[in-house]
Every structure is written in C-alpha cells, then in structure tokens.
Amino acid sequence: MNSDWYPNIARQSSDSAGAIVVCVESLEDMRRQAARDHALRSREGVTRIPPTPVAVRVITGHAIAYTATQVLVEWEAYGDWHCRWEDNWQVKRV
C-alpha cells in the first residue's frame, strides 16, 4: 500500500489490511454515535436508558431512550444498522 495515499492508515499498524479494518469499524462506530446523538437532540424531554430488548411490530431491537410518547429503538437487519423513534404503543418489551 502506498503510504502517500493513506498516511493515517499506514501509521496505525504495520499490517495495512488490519489498519483498514480498524478504520472502517471506527468510522461505523462514529456514524452510529452521530445518528444516536442527532435522534436524542431532535426530541424534548428525552430520558436515556440502558439498552433494553424490545419488539416493534416484527422488528426486534433495543430501546435506548424514551419520551412521553415515543421510544428510540436501534436494530440491525440484513447487515445494516437502524435507529428510529417509534410510538410507544407499538413497542413491546421482550
């Protein structure tokens, strides 16, 4: 790998392929955290909770926050991660 093209990746590890995997995982973690933060800031009166297993219609995931009328649920489906506010009457604790 040419370190001029990827200077940060080349410095992170002597194994360039391993460094790319680390960077991609770090970027995915940052993307998820940014999406959670955006969702939490988008509502008033949010209370954060430890991840709690829930079912929403046919989806199973984890509730991570709630308001008086909605629950913030995150889940993985088909290799992709999702985070969305759901009406509390549709969320059932598993």
Query: pLDDT digits over 37-66, tens only?
Result: 999 999 999 999 999 999 999 999 999 999
Predicted local distance difference test score (pLDDT) of residue 40: 93
Beta-ladder partners of 59: 56
**How confident is the prediction for the chain on average, in pLDDT?**
83
User: Which comes out higher in pLDDT, residue 88 or 15?
Assistant: 88
